[in-house]
């Protein structure tokens, strides 16, 4: 079983602040994905990172894949209440099977 550990488990910040969520593993993944899940819905893919050291930006969200392809981070700049949700990382070691972290619940207060 490939274990992905996310930290922190919960994060509550004020609107306008920055936040970082971490995803760490002892295993190497061929790619790593970040999802966001809202109550009553399934996870929705935000980004896929493939290359070690890769950095991807999606508006105010910055995703980084570690050089060794074992860890990743999600950084949100100037968080807004609409960023509130459950953020999940998932590693892909073969063509299809996803191994998920337990998730980070982010709350952005107005």
Partner 1 sequence: EAGVTQFPSHSVIEKGQTVTLRCDPISGHDNLYWYRRVMGKEIKFLLHFVKESKQDESGMPNNRFLAERTGGTYSTLKVQPAELEDSGVYFCASSQETGGSEQYFGPGTRLTVT
- List contacts with partner 1 (CB under 8 A): 4, 31, 35, 40-45, 48, 88, 90, 92, 95-103
Q: How far is the CB of 92 from partner 1 (least distance, A)?
A: 8
Closest CB to partner 1 among 36 and 108? Answer: 36
Rounded CA gap, 88 and 43, in Å? 8
Q: Structure tokens of 82?
A: 């609409």
Give yes or no for a contact between 61 and 76, defined as CB atoms under 8 angstroms apart: yes
Residue in the block written with tokens 């992905």: 4
Q: How far is the CB of 45 from partner 1 (least distance, A)?
A: 6
């Amino acid at each position: 079983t490939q274990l992905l550990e996310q930290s922190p488990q919960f994060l509550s910040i004020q609107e306008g602040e920055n936040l970082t969520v971490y995803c760490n593993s002892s295993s190497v993944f061929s790619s790593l994905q970040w999802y966001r899940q809202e109550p009553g819905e399934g996870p929705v893919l935000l980004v896929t990172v493939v290359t070690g050291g890769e950095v991807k930006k999606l508006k105010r969200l910055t995703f980084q894949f570690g050089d060794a392809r074992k860890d990743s981070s999600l950084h949100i700049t100037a968080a807004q209440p609409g960023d509130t949700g459950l953020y999940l990382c998932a590693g892909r070691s073969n063509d299809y099977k996803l191994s998920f972290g337990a998730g980070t619940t982010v709350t952005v207060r107005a």
